[in-house]
Structure 1
Amino acid sequence: MQFKDLLFLLICSVTFAQNTDFPSAKVDEIVSRIQLPVFPSYQINITKLGAKGDSLTNNKIVFDKAMALCKKNNGGTIIVPKGIYKINGPIHFVSNVNLKIEKGAKIKFSDNPDDYLPMVLTSWEGTMVYNYSPLIYAFECENIAITGEGTIDGEGGMTWKSFKSKENEGKNLSREMNHNNVPLKDRKFGKGYFLRPQMIQFFKCKNILVENIRIEDSPFWCLHLLQSQSITVRGISYKSFNYNNDGIDPEYAKDVLIENVTFDNADDNVAIKAGRDDEGRANSATPSENIVIRNCNFKGLHGVVIGSEMSAGVQNVYVENCKTVGYLKRGIYLKTNADRGGFIKNIFVRKIQLDEVEDCIYITANYHGEGSGHQSEISNVSFSDITCNKVSAAGIVIQGFPDKKIKNISLNNIEIKWAKNAISSENAENVLMNEVVIGERATIPSAAK
């Protein structure tokens, strides 16, 4: 190595070392520019339109009428009072509407796939397609909200759950279309392809609020924030244990605040994504960025995940003051592979309390050992003030490639009380560790006898 190369490396190392403190000012900037939606004074109670909360009557027409009245009045609040309201089909938002589900109220969707046709433009595991409508769907809307202390039930545990074993043909076809740049108009799925819809999807929307509601029994991902910005999700809770029940999936999303959320779902709690493979890389101008996750209770498969669909890139993610309730497979999980490309950078995680996990911190550029030709850049990742009681596999895992190393990883004040394996770090560069204890803390050395 020449002197100038060594000097450059040292300068980069020092620069990163100086910038590993949690950037609270950046968090404040993001939160301050996120706009909460504002609604006109118009209100409509769905029971005034004939809705029946008897868990049997199909209220689809009533909810459609309420949304149409709001559109006529340039927005407003749809009030769902106490009761169980069956809806055989999706709710499609218009702008400037707050769907307020009051305490004791439940919206219970049907599980008949035909109710979610005709198809709408959506995304499925990182690829744009036409598919069944999400149960609650907003496309190109502004100033929208779902609030209240009520429940949304997706009835995902029977018919929709049975789709999982039949989805491979549709899933593989969608990925082929992605890789071959098939025009969107020809990417039609729906009936016969068994790709389950999301529970709630905001697509190309801005100024969004989801607050205090409870999400149960989703067919697929629970809350999908797709190509949207200026988003606040707070105070919501989950009871959703079907296949692929990710809690919150920001994808190509910008300026997002997720706080005070109580997770209890069967997959990732928060999974930050940014498109898959060729299509994702073509959208590199719109990475997922400026995402704040704080004061949450994790429970499910993984706590916070970035990837694996992240081909447009993920940057500027700030996670703090979160803890687990019970077991997680992995606490913080950054995953990509050589099919993805893109980047993961400027990730800051601090003040995380984990109980029992399989792996505490896991960073891999070789997820599932798949792919070739499009290795991802992973750099500038900082972990600090993290505790964990028990790790059944590895405390810290870092997996890069020999020709594409993971760079600039800072681990500061990490304490793992027990782990089967402490650290596995391969193909990483400039990994800085300070106050890292895995297992029993060492004391002063014993004297020779």
Structure 2
Amino acid sequence: MNFKYFFLIFLSWASFAQNSNFPSAKVDSIVKRIQLPIITSYRINVLTLGAKGDSITDNKKAFDKAMALCKKNKGGTIIVPKGIYKINGPIHFVSNVNLRIEKGAKIKFSDNPKDYLPMVLTSWEGTMLYNYSPLIYANNCTNISISGEGTIDGEGGKTWKTFKAKENEGKNRSREMNHNNTPLEERKFGEGYFLRPQMIQFLNCKNILVENIRIENSPFWCLHLLKSESITIRGISYKSLNHNNDGIDPEYAKDVLIENVTFDNGDDNVAIKAGRDHEGRANAATPSENIVIRNCNFKGLHGVVIGSEMSAGVQNVFVENCKTAGYLKRGIYLKTNADRGGYIKNIFVQNIQLDQVEDCLYITSNYHGEGKGYQSDISNVYFSNITCNKASESGIVIQGFADKKIKNISLKNIEIKEAKNALSNENAENVLMTDVFIGKRATVPTAVSKH
């Protein structure tokens, strides 16, 4: 080997090894620049506008009026006191507003799809389009907050649940439009296409706080952070077990703090996304980046997922001090395929306690074995101080392509006490393992027995 070439490889390898420590200073700088919303002093109680928390009355007009008054007053706090408030249709935010749902208060949305028309600009599994309005929706807003110790119920388990079996035509049409670069104004869905709306979606928003509320029974994804930045999600809890009930989906999102969240979801707890296929790659200037996830309790399908829609790229993700409160299929899951392109890089995960999982740590470039022509770059992934009691399938899985290897994976202080398959590592280079134990930890070698 050419000495100069060897020296360069050695230098890059040495710098990779040194970078494997969790970069707390980088986390601190992200958290420091995230701004909490500034809300004006105006306050309005929905009861004064005729709302009734009797679980029967439709309160749509009262909530719309409260939002209009806030707009007139350049912002304010909408107070929802104790009671069950049925709303037949969406809440559309304006800037500088805090929706405060107090302890003992529940907002219960109708499940009549017609209530969520006219259609709004939104996204569905990585493709921008017009569809039913999300139940709570903000577009181009600054300084917005949902707070209080109350509950938002999306009533997703009846009518909306039936949409899942009928969504394929709409889903496939949306993907064809993505691949064919169909103009956005022609991407009309809504009635007849059965694409369920998200429960809460922030689109093109900035300075967002969602704090202490409880989210239940969403029709689709629970909390979608789309093309938004400077976001704090903290202290919220979930019980949302319908189809595709991801807890939090940052997509083309930047500067996000997710902390002290108690998940209980029918799908991924946090799924970081960045658009799908051609449309996602065209948005490479707005990757999902600078996302901090810490002090959370995971319960659901997967803990933290990156992908599979990640075509604009995902970078600078920091996960620490989280544990499971129940079974997960996979603990940390990075997934992409050869339709996506883009990259996943600079992912740091430390101090994670998992109980029982199917697979503990899973990185794949070949999700569902789909696609061709656009393999993703996965590099610089650092796992440290992770424990798991039992993996019913695999402890650690890394799957790249022969012509597009996964690069620079660091595994440090990993203990998986029991696993059916310990390690599957293919088409990856620079996989560095330090103090990795899968199965029973070996002690000193036994001596030769005497005859």
Question: Is it true that 1:165 corresponds to 2:192 in the alignment?
Answer: no
1:368: Cα distance to partner?
0.3
Correspondence list, 1:380-399, <5 A: 380-399=380-399
Which whole-Å CA distance do the structure 2 matches of 1:410 and 1:182 have between them? 41
What TM-score does the superposition give when structure 2 sets the normalisation length? 0.99
Distance 1:215 1:2 in 2: 60
- The whole-number CA distance in structure 2 between the counterparts of 1:350 and 1:131 is 39
2-side partners of 1:410 and 1:258: how far apart?
A: 24
Runs of 4+ in 1 over 4 A off after TM superposition: none
Task: Tell me which residue corresponds to 1:282.
Answer: 282
Amino acid at match of 1:431: V
Q: Match for 1:389: what amino acid?
A: N
- Any stretches of 5+ residues in structure 1 without a counterpart? none
Question: Could you tell me how far 1:326 is from its partner in structure 2?
Answer: 1.3
| Cα distance in structure 2, aligned partners of 1:12 and 1:408 | 10
Q: How far is 1:371 from its partner?
A: 0.4
What's the offset of the Cα at 1:128? 0.2
Matching residue of 1:232: 232
Q: Distance in 2 between matches of 1:208 and 1:391?
A: 37
Number of the residue aligned with 2:292:
292
Question: 1:219 and 2:247 equivalent?
Answer: no
Deviation per residue, 1:264-296 (Å, 9 max, x gap): 011000000000000000000000000000000
Secondary structure of 1:114's counterpart equals helix
| Deviations 1:91-119, CA, capped at 9 Å, x for gaps | 00000000000000000000000000000
Query: Is residue 379 of structure 2 the alignment partner of residue 369 of structure 1?
Result: no
Could you tell me how far apart the structure 1 residues matched to 2:343 and 2:3 are? 29
SS in 2 for 1:279: helix
The one-letter amino acid of 2:386's match is I
**What is the CA distance between 1:11 and its match in structure 2?**
1.6
Give matches, 1:245-256, under 5 Å: 245-256=245-256
Deviations 1:118-145 (A, max 9, x none): 0000000000000000000000000000
Matches within 5 A, 1:62-141: 62-141=62-141
1:379-405 deviation digits (Å, cap 9, x = unpaired) = 000000000000100000000000100
Deviation of 1:2 after TM superposition, in Å, equals 4.0
Q: What is the CA-CA distance between 1:10 and the residue it aligns to?
A: 1.8
Distance 1:383 1:184 in 2: 40
The answer for unaligned runs of 5 or more in structure 2 is none
Alpha-carbon distance, 1:7 to partner = 2.7
1:29-73 Cα distance to aligned partner (Å, 9 max, x none): 000000000111000000000000000000001100000000000
Structure 2 SS opposite 1:176: helix
Aligned to 1:156: 156
The alignment covers a number of residue pairs equal to 449
Hey, what does 1:6 align to over in structure 2?
6
SS at match of 1:286: coil
Partner residue, 1:17: 17
> What is the match of residue 183 of structure 2?
183
Q: Secondary structure at the match of 2:310?
A: coil
Residue type of the alignment partner of 1:337:
N
Match of 1:312 in 2: 312
What letter corresponds to residue 245 of structure 1 in structure 2? N
Counterpart residue identity of residue 35, structure 2: Q
CA RMSD of aligned residues (A): 0.6
Question: CA–CA distance in 2 between the matches of 1:2 and 1:394?
Answer: 39
- Give me the whole-angstrom Cα distance separating, in 1, the residues matched to 2:89 and 2:13: 55
Structure 1 range deviating more: 12-21 or 64-73: 12-21
The whole-number CA distance in structure 2 between the counterparts of 1:86 and 1:206 is 28
Q: Which secondary structure state, in structure 2, belongs to the residue aligned with residue 268 of structure 1? A: coil
Which string of whole-angstrom CA distances, capped at 9 and with x for unpartnered residues, describes residues 148-180 of structure 1? 000000000010000000000000000000000
Whether 1:267 aligns to 2:264 is: no
Alignment partner, residue 330 of structure 2: 330
Alpha-carbon offset, residue 13 of structure 1: 1.0
Partner SS for 2:269: strand
Q: Which amino acid aligns with 1:145?
A: S
- The TM-score normalised by the length of structure 1 is 0.99
Percent identity over paired residues: 81
Cα distance between partner residues in 2 of 1:367 and 1:252? 21
Alignment-mate amino acid for residue 274 of structure 1? A
- For the pair 1:432 / 2:432, whether they are aligned, the reply is yes
Name the amino acid aligned to 2:241: F
Q: Is the partner of 1:9 in helix, strand or coil?
A: helix
